[in-house]
Structure 1
Amino acid sequence: MNSITTITPARPVAVRTRLRLTTRGRRALMTVATLPAVVALGVGILSGGGALASGDAGTPAGSFSTVTVLPGDSLWTIAQDIAPDSDPRDVIDEIVRLNALPSTAVDAGESLAIPASYSAQAAE
């Protein structure tokens, strides 16, 4: 009664490790991940601008009149002068968009385009 026992060798178990990124690797990964967004934003900024400020034919010639900023004037005072019945904040917003101004600060002697709807109110 001989019994023969066969011993099979155990299979090696693969040890799984977590992916570990160094600081340099994280920076590289973030750069690669954000690059398409940065490129798209840059293209959008360079190609899109205010139609009046860029010289495009986007604004018809009769849709605005011009006003010269006097010393001591601000967009608020100009908005109150040209449209006394309208909310000055709305008028200022339209002037800023029409002239593609970077902020609401204006300098004396500067010429601003005023929407024709407000220049008609000022004439009355």
Structure 2
Amino acid sequence: MGTLALDATTKAAPLKIKINRRGWAVLVGIPVFALTVAAAFSVAMFFNSAQASSAAPQGQEFVEVTVIPGDTLWDLAREHAGEHDIYSAMQYISEINSIEYGAIQAGDTLQIPVLD
């Protein structure tokens, strides 16, 4: 087996990295793309005119219902939907009352639209 003698006076040459055209495209392109997307979202966020309304639709009648233990959003929608689709009524009730994931608790007061 051979041995390798290291000379203490020899310095290691600095590592030289060569980047080809594709490497430069990746090295520069990805950050530029990410910054462009971030800028587009920022501009869209500040200049977007779409806004959620906190007011109920005009001309719509509502019944105020206090949730009791055992009530579910499905049950309330089924009770007040009349001839309408129960799932659509659930979505509408959730939207009007800002309910996320259909989570209601006993004691909550909900505005239920009167659907004809």
TM-score, length-scaled by structure 1: 0.58
- Identical pairs, percent: 23
Query: Among 97, 100, 103, which residue is 2:98 paired with?
Result: 100
TM-score, length-scaled by structure 2: 0.61
Deviation at 1:43, TM superposition (A): 3.8
Deviation at 1:34, TM superposition (A): 0.9
Query: Among 45, 48, 63, which residue is 2:51 paired with?
Result: 48
Structure 1 residues 21, 117: closer, same or farther in 2, change over 3 A? same
- The residue aligned with 1:73 is 71
Partner SS for 1:105: coil
- The residue aligned with 2:11 is none
Greater fraction of residues in helix: 1
Structure 1 residues 21, 108: closer, same or farther in 2, change over 3 A? farther
Deviation at 1:89, TM superposition (A): 0.2
Deviation at 1:38, TM superposition (A): 2.4
- The residue aligned with 1:39 is 42
1:65 and 1:114 in contact (8 A); partners too: yes
Partner SS for 1:67: strand
Deviation at 1:20, TM superposition (A): 3.2
2:80 and 2:114 in contact (8 A); partners too: no
Provide the C-alpha distance between the structure 2 equivalents of 1:103 and 1:51, rounded to a whole number of angstroms: 19
Partner SS for 1:108: coil
Number of residue pairs the alignment of both structures matches: 97
Pair member with larger Rg: 1
Partner SS for 1:107: coil
Provide the C-alpha distance between the structure 1 equivalents of 2:47 and 2:108, rounded to a whole number of angstroms: 28
Unpaired runs of 5+ residues, structure 1, are 1-16, 53-57, 119-124
Unpaired runs of 5+ residues, structure 2, are 1-19
1:50 and 1:97 in contact (8 A); partners too: no
